[in-house]
Amino acid sequence: MRAYYGLVDPRLASIYAKDVAETFGGDVENVKYMLYETACAETGLGMVKDPTHRSAGRGLTQFDQIPFFDIINRTSKKDKVLVKEKYDIDLDKIESVDEINNSPVLAFIMTRLFYKKRREPIPDNIIDRAHYWKKWYNTEAGKGSADHYLSMVQWVKDKLGER
């Protein structure tokens, strides 16, 4: 099974998502699902490579350049220290959004930090998470929809033989 964005095997994504969710705390189960499902919606969990060059998002969760650096700039010192200590990634030394291209862990870290900036808690069911993703991550201007989110999560489950 072919995977892109530095993901050797798509089945590893759930491990990375859980680890990042546990690192930052909060409602770990809902955060884990939100990270994992975001990667499903954005890149089919790394199994679908974006054909556009330089015009779309980067990495497993398709982060755009402006929000990428905005999140780094607005991330608390405490969280930056946590990322450095746990993952040996110095967010303040990242010079290009392209650094996320081959690092699924960095993609999940950045996605978690993005969602952490939302006041609304991450929902506890997939349908509400689909709408949450559309509102906050894909935005009204994005081409994705809550139905796209749901169908991509199901597509990944089918591909991986999950229920």
The whole-number pLDDT of residue 53 equals 64
Domain contains 3: no
Domain contains 135: yes
72-100, pLDDT tens digit by residue? 999 999 999 999 999 999 999 999 999 99
**Considering only 47-51, 57-61, 102-106, 146-150, which range has the smallest mean pLDDT?**
47-51
The whole-number pLDDT of residue 136 equals 94
Instruction: Return d(Cα 78, Cα 69) in angstroms, integer.
Output: 17
The whole-number pLDDT of residue 20 equals 98
Token pair belonging to 148: 């796209």
The whole-number pLDDT of residue 78 equals 97
108-117, pLDDT tens digit by residue? 999 999 999 9
Q: Decide: pTM greater than 0.85.
A: yes
Higher pLDDT, 142 or 94: 94
Find tokens 């990242």 and name the residue. Answer: 94
The whole-number pLDDT of residue 49 equals 87
Domain contains 2: no
Domain contains 43: yes
Residues with Cβ within 8 Å of residue 6, at least 6 apart in sequence: 59, 60, 101, 102, 103, 104
Domain contains 4: no
Cα torsion 71, 115, 19, 75: sign:
positive
User: Which residue range is the domain that position 55 belongs to?
Assistant: 10-160
Domain contains 145: yes
Residue 162: pLDDT band with limits 50, 70, 90? confident
The whole-number pLDDT of residue 54 equals 61
Instruction: Return d(Cα 135, Cα 94) in angstroms, integer.
Output: 27
Q: Structurally, how many domains does the chain consist of? A: 1
Domain contains 1: no
Domain contains 5: no
Residues with Cβ within 8 Å of residue 32, at least 6 apart in sequence: 14, 17, 18, 21
116-137, pLDDT tens digit by residue? 999 999 999 999 999 999 999 9
Q: Does 55 have pLDDT greater than 70?
A: no
30-52, pLDDT tens digit by residue? 999 999 999 999 999 999 987 77
Average pLDDT over residues 141-152: 91
The whole-number pLDDT of residue 135 equals 94
